[in-house]
Amino acid sequence: MIHHQHDIVIIGAGLAGLRAALETSRVADTALLTKVYPSRSHSGGAQGGIAASLANESDDNWELHMFDTVKGSDYLGDQDAIEILVKEAPATVIELEHMGVPFSRNANGTIAQRRFGGHSRPRACYASDYTGHVILHTLYEQGVKQGVEVYSEFYVVSLIMNKGNCCGVVALDILSGELHLFHSKAVMFATGGYGRAYKITSNAHANTGDGLSIVYRVDIPIEDMEFVQFHPTGLYKHGILVTEGARGEGGYLLNKDGERFMKNYAPEKMELAPRDLTSRAMQTEMNEGRGIEGKDYIHIDLRHLGAAKILERLPQIHELALNFVGVDCTKEPIPIQPTAHYSMGGIPTDNHGQVVIDKDNTPVKGLYAAGECACVSVHGGNRLGTNSLLEATLFGQRAGEAMAELVQREKEFTPLPENPAQPAEKEIATILENEGKESVAQIREELQVSMTDNCGIFRDEKKLKKELEIVKSLQERYKHIHIDDKGMRCNTDLMEALELGHLLDFAEVIVAGALNRTESRGSHYRIDYPKRDDENWLKHTLAYRTDKGPRFDYKKVVITRYQPTERKY
């Protein structure tokens, strides 16, 4: 076991982790741990844009952005947090620009902005369709310049707590297979989303929601896990994303009759309705036999935009469609289907990124989270496109500020408990020594397929109960896995087994939470309870781990400016 001491340990090198590290490393000794090389973090896959009411294309202001976000969240977003998000958005984007992010420009030199679903004004700042890629690389460059200490390809396995305070993590050096113990005054999770719990997903292979499960295992709740966003436009059979920017630029959604069917679901917003509504509309078309050739896909048609505009604004989409489905989108429509995309829920935090453990927002000393793994909650029941890059950067910065303040105030490290690495050592030894008959790949496949079938866009009691049984039986089978590679160097078998353990932990919370919430709100749609029920369910879910499955408690939604009303587009 190799020991390290750093004031601050940040896990994850996407936008949230990198932005936080830039803040903390100015004043404190910071270690940044990441299981994939920093510039391979999923933030780099973001295509469409980052929201800010810069008003470069039309009138706009933070209040309009706030109302759109609150309405988009189906009134489950906490309005104090949303107000911070939208008010600080312009400064966040301008800071990124000053760091060197090469945003696309208007002829007059201002940052170009395009339309996105659920936003009433064009406010997505973009760099053609490589927005996340350029922000990630710019932040990483800044980190290198500032000397942030990066432990690349270190896989965090467990969190170290002592009497309710957080004092470090245990990580596996993937290359050597050695375990490292990091003792710190503050730990921040910036471990991203969990799309890999589903078969059809836009998410990177690394998006296995490790952070959620690691905190859940030490008696910290996870919030609003039943809210899973399905993005309407994933490439058919692959789930790879076709950015909403494609519709922002004017793309049409067509059914088998060539009809722009969104007129029947959201006559005002059409293709730019929010994602929850658009995905349900597409799924309904397919369920009722109006998918292309009667199958489970729809077309997105960009041809009328013209080749020049497509190649300038959406070059990546052009290339992805060509490479993965063999379609030249300047000449033909692209086959698409909804794809698991984003997790609205996550590790509960206050507005400074500090993790809280109950409905009274009692903080956990030394523990922080930001970005997609966190639930502040600015997205409530449904996230609007382009608000996530914003959230990751802005709340990453805020968590960084809070940690910098903490470690300057606290002179001493919280002492380590006895045997701090024992849970990690035991978990790894069990996987390596197990000689069961079950295969990791097989269990993962069954989980992903059944989650897509039973806990997807449309849910009901029967399917959810069935899925809960499936997840529990897969958890049982997981105890009897074996892996072929028993070595320690670069053991990807071992990593995949650890990741599967995480997927199985929080998938149960997603399904049990969905079964528990007997209403429809945002991305969570129950066929058997099709109405939103503010009287009983205008509240956040907190799920705590017990041996029998999650125990639920609830937290009030913060409402400041906008009372819930019916949501129409």
Identify the DSSP state of 123.
-
User: Could you tell me which stretch among 37-45, 77-85, 360-368, 410-418 binds ligand FAD (CB under 6 A)?
Assistant: 37-45
Maximum separation of any 2 CA atoms in the chain, in Å: 68
Task: Tell me how many degrees the CA angle 42-46-48 measures, rounded to the nearest 5.
Answer: 170
Rule CB under 6 A: choose which of 76, 190, 317, 329 binds ligand FAD: 190
Return the number of the residue (346 or 532) whose C-beta is nearest ligand FAD: 346
Residue 392 touching ligand FAD (CB under 6 A) = yes
* 194 CA to centre of own chain: 7
* Nearest C-alpha neighbor of 502 from the set 239, 277, 278, 197: 197
User: By CB under 6 A, what part of segment 132-151 binds ligand FAD?
Assistant: 132
User: By CB under 6 A, what part of segment 326-365 binds ligand FAD?
Assistant: 342
Q: What single string gives the DSSP state of each residue in 440-483?
A: HHHHHHHHHHHHHHHSSSEE-HHHHHHHHHHHHHHHHHHTTB--
Return the number of the residue (372 or 519) whose C-beta is nearest ligand FAD: 372
Residue 191 touching ligand FAD (CB under 6 A) = yes
Question: Which two tokens mark 470?
Answer: 């499936």
Rule CB under 6 A: choose which of 337, 349, 388, 523 binds ligand FAD: 388
β-bridge pairing 334-343 and 298-301: antiparallel
**CB-based burial label for 279 (10 Å; 0-12, 13-18, 19+):** buried
Residue 305 touching ligand FAD (CB under 6 A) = no
DSSP SS3 for 140: helix
β-bridge pairing 165-173 and 179-183: antiparallel
Residue 23 touching ligand FAD (CB under 6 A) = no
Q: How far apart are CB 556 and ligand FAD at their closest, in Å?
A: 25
Residue 210 touching ligand FAD (CB under 6 A) = yes
Q: Confirm if 508 and 549 have CB atoms less than 8 A apart.
A: yes
Rule CB under 6 A: choose which of 25, 47, 69, 255 binds ligand FAD: 47
Residue 382 touching ligand FAD (CB under 6 A) = no
Q: What sign has the CA pseudo-torsion 343, 344, 347, 352?
A: positive
User: Could you tell me which stretch among 8-16, 21-29, 104-112, 266-274 binds ligand FAD (CB under 6 A)?
Assistant: 8-16
User: Could you tell me which stretch among 13-21, 95-103, 274-282, 507-515 binds ligand FAD (CB under 6 A)?
Assistant: 13-21
Rule CB under 6 A: choose which of 286, 305, 389, 451 binds ligand FAD: 389
Q: How far apart are CB 235 and ligand FAD at their closest, in Å?
A: 11
Q: What sign has the CA pseudo-torsion 352, 358, 359, 365?
A: negative
Q: How far apart are CB 366 and ligand FAD at their closest, in Å?
A: 18
Residue 49 touching ligand FAD (CB under 6 A) = yes
Catalytic, 275? Answer yes
Rule CB under 6 A: choose which of 8, 187, 241, 317 binds ligand FAD: 241
Beta carbons within 8 Å of 94's beta carbon, 6+ residues apart: none
Beta carbons within 8 Å of 563's beta carbon, 6+ residues apart: none
Residue 384 touching ligand FAD (CB under 6 A) = no
Residue 279 touching ligand FAD (CB under 6 A) = no
Please, what's the b/e burial string for 10-42 (b: 16 or more CB within 10 A of its CB; e: otherwise)?
bbbbbbbbbbbbbbbbebbebbbbbbbebbbbb
**CB-based burial label for 304 (10 Å; 0-12, 13-18, 19+):** exposed
Rule CB under 6 A: choose which of 46, 85, 298, 305 binds ligand FAD: 46
Q: How far apart are CB 100 and ligand FAD at their closest, in Å?
A: 18
Return the number of the residue (282 or 515) whose C-beta is nearest ligand FAD: 282
Q: Which of 114, 115, 196, 275 is an active site residue? A: 275
Beta carbons within 8 Å of 541's beta carbon, 6+ residues apart: 223, 224, 225, 226, 345, 513, 516, 517, 552, 554
Number of amino acids touching ligand FAD (CB under 6 A): 44
Return the number of the residue (43 or 354) whose C-beta is nearest ligand FAD: 43
Residue 371 touching ligand FAD (CB under 6 A) = yes
User: Could you tell me which stretch among 72-80, 246-254, 380-388, 519-527 binds ligand FAD (CB under 6 A)?
Assistant: 380-388
Rule CB under 6 A: choose which of 7, 372, 493, 508 binds ligand FAD: 372
H or E segment to which residue 313 belongs: helix 307-313
Residue 158 touching ligand FAD (CB under 6 A) = no
Return the number of the residue (354 or 520) whose C-beta is nearest ligand FAD: 354
Identify the DSSP state of 263.
G
* Nearest C-alpha neighbor of 126 from the set 298, 300, 304, 317: 317
Report which residue's Cβ sits closest to ligand FAD.
14
Rule CB under 6 A: choose which of 8, 10, 11, 159 binds ligand FAD: 11
Return the number of the residue (241 or 399) whose C-beta is nearest ligand FAD: 241
Q: Confirm if 47 and 132 have CB atoms less than 8 A apart.
A: yes
Return the number of the residue (171 or 470) whose C-beta is nearest ligand FAD: 171
Question: Which two tokens mark 193?
Answer: 């989303």
Catalytic residue ranges: 275
Site for ligand FAD, rule CB under 6 A: 11-17, 33-36, 41-43, 45-50, 131-132, 155-156, 190-193, 202-203, 206, 210-211, 241, 342, 371-373, 385-389, 392
